[in-house]
Structure 1
Amino acid sequence: MNALKNEADNKKTIAIIQTTRIGDLLQTSHAVKLLKENHPEYRVVLVARKKFATPIMFLLEKVFDKVVTIEHKTAMFGADNVREALSKLKKQLKEINEQNIDVSINLAFSKSATYLHSLIESSNKVGPYFNDLHERVITDRWSQYLYSTVMRGDLNPFNLVDLFSSIIGTTKKLTHLSNKDYSSEKKTNLLIHPFASNEKKMWKANRWVEVIYQTLKKNENVKVYICGSNQDQKSADEILNSELIRPFKDRVNLWIGLDLKELYSKVDSSFLFVGHDSMIGNLLSFKNIKTLTISLGTVRPHETTPYALDNYNLAPKTECAPCFPKDECTEFKCHNDVPYNITHQCIGQLLNNNKINIEELNSSCSSLSLSRVKLYHSDMLDNGDLYIRESLHKDQDAKEVMRNFYHIAWTSIFTEINTSMDIPSFNIQTKAQLSSQSKGIETLYELSEFGKKYSRYIIEEISKNTPSLEEIRKFSAKLDEIDRLSDLVSTSYPLLAPVIDFAKVAKNNLQGNNLVKLSEAAFYTYNEISLMCSVLYEFFEKCSLINKSKPEARENI
């Protein structure tokens, strides 16, 4: 369902549910800013958790028509008894439902947000909610994509701002992506946020000491500001009081414990921001502050790079990166794979020129160091999506190739909007990795064609004057077999997992109140997967990864 397809004479109200952390709220705000630019006729209400919304309320109030803050933990666990908890919950829901909501859109995907979405009174629901049978329901394609791909793997090519925009249904004729506000003069201030929400995502203090030391040594007129929360005071003092930094102490300032509004007000176009945490970068992107993000551990550059043009993101080429929060790790190899010398070289270029010159980087850093990192540069595609281009290496790895393909393919299949990228360049090793997936494409294509066939058989059988229940069961069993075989394909061909995971979520959320409607919905889902495989196969052919002709479905299964 497209949230913006409903037409009426009066101004429609859209409620956005985003109960996750500040970074997600900031990216949601960017998406709603895009909505407002392209669809000013809509009134937008935000439903967010108080603890995350309050620090950035100064920004949220500029973007949303109304902000409703809730604190479900307080409602449920801060009460003396169940009756009091229910009373608090009802008061919160009453405030939300008084907004006369036409469309409610859940962008949080957590279980609690899904329950909340179920209790909100709205004519149309987009994103996950629970139905009367206590089944999680996701009806729209983009939410199904986010749930199946972003939540399950690292092959998502879309920035979360663009994904949220697609779920909302924004048609991008206008965009606030711009680099015109960047100053062409040298930056005189460097704001660093060397901390993150967990140790997987941040360097130890000694590595930041090296970066700051080299930066101050080579840029005599630059001042450094270290920002963080009160909990970061000890680590900040460790950096400030280190032997290397001591001679430059008068040029280093600690902004520890500043609230986000004050931090936001202090930073202007004379600043370059460098840090691990995408939250600060996404906050400053509302002021078009130039950023360099160092993505480690679980951080996914494609999803979280600050939403503005000409920003940069350094990420390790470590095989296990990005990892998942539940993955155990003690070595933090990805931390060592982003050398501090490359980092301070990038900082120096950005301070002086507002951009990174790859030739200059190649001449100042060893090829061994450069071979361990990726340097992404943010750009905009012709459909208005943010796109980060790996600019350090000419050859792309297998995942990078597949992400770019998926960006084009999903956009075309879901929206019928065509966009384009350059044909990728890759080495022999990457070619072998990609070529090994070709058999999986053929198999998945064939399975999807069988899925279409047996879905059609069910529809035809039901339409008979005397349908055979035995035949319907037989065809349904075939569909179950197809789904099991698809799971095996996902295991054997991991680069195809986004397609198979999407199909699984889509088929678990088929829409219809009878067997005919459900079979028709299944048919269209199999058709989408078949189309994706067909386009993917054609893409592989153009990249000389397949020598055979386009796959055709076999006659039996």
Structure 2
Amino acid sequence: MAEPAPIAVIQTQRMGDLLLTFPLLLWLARSHPGRPVTVVADPAFARPLLPIGPPAHFLSLEQAAATLPGREHELVINLGIVPQAARLAGAIPAARCLGPAIGPDGATRIGGDWQLYRASVVHLNRHGRYHWAELNALDIVPPALLAGTSWPAPRRGGPGRRKVGLFLGASQPEKRPGPAFFAALARELVRRGLVPVLLGGPGEAGLGDEAARLAGIPLSNLCGKLGLKELALFGQEMALLVSPDTGPMHLAAWTGWRVLNLSVGPVSPHETGPYQPGHYVLRPRLSCRGCWECFREAVVCRDRLDPVRVGYVAARLARGEDDRLAGAVIPAFELLRTAVDAYGLRVLEPVSVPPGLVPSAGRELVGDFWRAVFGHAFGLLPEAAPRLAAAALAQGQPALHAALGKTLSRLGAALARDTRRGAVPDAAFAQAFAPGVGPLAGYIERLLQNGDGSRPARLAALALYARAAALFAG
């Protein structure tokens, strides 16, 4: 009997991106039992992560380019953004290809509604509410499988666990606090009876030395001394990891090591924060939070991190006193907890508000609205979801609801004008509209570009616009 056609997953990005591919690999094993899965990834990340990830065969990009195009595949999922990944995806013969692929004509096209959605929120993610771990999978994983997935709760702190890891690194300086912050945080944790440990890769060795020096107290500094496998093992005995948005944060979440994510810089915890339920996110209350790229002279959210307030939250979590954080007042900060909704989708629950109080901040209501619109349009959420989200926006922020309806009318006029002219929008199309309609404008821009302005693409764009606009009628 012939072996089933395999599946190829291409993820050539950083360690954190590879770790966020692990839920997809788990779901593929359940939804496509018996099919071999090959993951194309950077060997520097794939090799040490192999023992803790779902079963798969890992290849480098070079190895994959030499072998995979010669075999028929059932499915190719390209999660990479580099041209080499798209070239490989287009070269592998497959019944279905999701994500960017370069075709015989040399053009790059994106397969899958959700993969196209993810591409469309680049620089337009202010109201993005789908996590990247989900976006990796939503085009192929049945909704029932998502809803039926249960994730083990992370290990809680308690009297027998006093060590708190402080991870100093991140892929961009804007995403991480500096050594002075971690030195002050270490002193605060010691004052609260805990044992902080400085952690980081080889690139953070200098940061660790500087933080240890500035702390002025005896401090364990393991920056540059642990590989990924050793870090995962070391975390099994620790109460908590305090970390910016970085690969080791996702490693901790995957292995059940509870995380307090300091979400600062050009990141959105809705999209790339800890994925599994039971972890925490702390971020300053600023209108610009969750951006794709910081345009301010200084990274205000990062610079406003307060080691005393971070230390308070970290100490509560490390001691297993989660319940005492419910409704806690953390001036100028908001504390969120990762959770899963009734559809198996990852959400962030407010923690630092009085119990029973639902925040009506316009930004969150708009984000919930677009989450529901796209979820229903792509068959993930029921028909009632966008109507309920629109009603919640109208009740919580009536002026914003009215303004969004007017901006949608402008978008509809622009779409009708381009349809009459046969014009395909350029990369500036979505930027011309207010951020509130950014998700829809960005998706329509990408949809029409991806379809070369074809009639099916225009009909799909008009149908999606009509669905959204109808929620503001009357």
Q: 1:487: how far off?
A: 7.1
Q: Distance in 2 between matches of 1:108 and 1:17?
A: 6
Residue-by-residue CA offset, 1:36-75 (whole Å, 9 max, x unaligned): 2444343321111223323423334xx143111135xxxx
> CA 1:314/1:320 → structure 2, altered by over 3 Å: closer, same or farther?
same
> CA 1:184/1:334 → structure 2, altered by over 3 Å: closer, same or farther?
closer
TM-score between both structures, scaled by the size of structure 1: 0.75
Residue-by-residue CA offset, 1:162-184 (whole Å, 9 max, x unaligned): 11111343444365543545347
230, 244, 256: which one aligns with 1:262? 230
Aligned to 1:379: 339
Q: 1:276: how far off?
A: 0.8
Q: Distance in 1 between matches of 2:419 and 2:411?
A: 18
Instruction: Give SS of 2:283's match.
Output: strand
Aligned to 1:412: 376
Aligned to 1:402: 366
188, 194, 216: which one aligns with 1:214? 188
Instruction: Give SS of 1:264's match.
Output: helix
Q: Are the counterparts in 2 of residues 345 and 361 from structure 1 also a CA contact under 8 Å?
A: no
Q: 1:532: how far off?
A: 2.4
Aligned to 1:292: 260
1:189 aligns with 2:149: no
> CA 1:441/1:9 → structure 2, altered by over 3 Å: closer, same or farther?
farther
Aligned to 1:499: 440
Q: Distance in 2 between matches of 1:415 and 1:497?
A: 21
Count of residues paired in the alignment:
464
Q: Distance in 1 between matches of 2:167 and 2:350?
A: 23
> CA 1:520/1:334 → structure 2, altered by over 3 Å: closer, same or farther?
closer
> CA 1:492/1:263 → structure 2, altered by over 3 Å: closer, same or farther?
closer
Q: 1:263: how far off?
A: 1.0
> CA 1:226/1:196 → structure 2, altered by over 3 Å: closer, same or farther?
same
Aligned to 1:306: 274
Q: 1:308: how far off?
A: 1.2
> CA 1:425/1:447 → structure 2, altered by over 3 Å: closer, same or farther?
closer
Q: Are the counterparts in 1 of residues 165 and 196 from structure 2 also a CA contact under 8 Å?
A: yes
Q: Distance in 2 between matches of 1:531 and 1:31?
A: 30
Q: Distance in 2 between matches of 1:494 and 1:284?
A: 33
Aligned to 2:247: 279
Q: Are the counterparts in 1 of residues 165 and 199 from structure 2 also a CA contact under 8 Å?
A: yes
Q: Distance in 1 between matches of 2:26 and 2:64?
A: 26
TM-score between both structures, scaled by the size of structure 2: 0.87
Compare 193-202 and 348-357 and name the one that shifted more: 348-357
Q: Are the counterparts in 2 of residues 314 and 375 from structure 1 also a CA contact under 8 Å?
A: yes
The CA RMSD over aligned residues, in Å, is 3.2
61, 66, 74: which one aligns with 2:57? 66
Q: 1:314: how far off?
A: 1.2
Aligned to 1:336: 303
Q: 1:202: how far off?
A: 1.3
1:161 aligns with 2:133: yes
Instruction: Tell me the amino acid that sits aligned with residue 502 of structure 1.
Output: Y
Q: 1:255: how far off?
A: 4.7
Q: Which runs of 5+ in 2 are unaligned?
A: none
Instruction: Give SS of 1:480's match.
Output: coil
Q: Which runs of 5+ in 1 are unaligned?
A: 1-7, 72-90, 452-474, 538-548, 551-557
**Highest RCO, 1 vs 2 (Cα 8 Å, sep ≥ 6):** 2
Q: Distance in 2 between matches of 1:329 and 1:443?
A: 29
Aligned to 2:328: 361
Q: Distance in 1 between matches of 2:393 and 2:446?
A: 33
Instruction: Tell me the amino acid that sits aligned with residue 212 of structure 1.
Output: A
Q: 1:312: how far off?
A: 0.7
Residue-by-residue CA offset, 1:274-316 (whole Å, 9 max, x unaligned): 1113311211222222110001111211111112112111122
Instruction: Tell me the amino acid that sits aligned with residue 166 of structure 2.
Output: I
Residue-by-residue CA offset, 1:76-121 (whole Å, 9 max, x unaligned): xxxxxxxxxxxxxxx6423223554221111113322212222223
Map residues 97-116 of structure 1 onto 2, 5 A cutoff.
97-98=69-70, 100-116=72-88
Q: Are the counterparts in 1 of residues 123 and 292 from structure 2 also a CA contact under 8 Å?
A: no
Computing the radius of gyration from Cα coordinates, the structure with the larger value is 1
Q: Are the counterparts in 2 of residues 285 and 307 from structure 1 also a CA contact under 8 Å?
A: yes
Instruction: Give SS of 1:267's match.
Output: helix
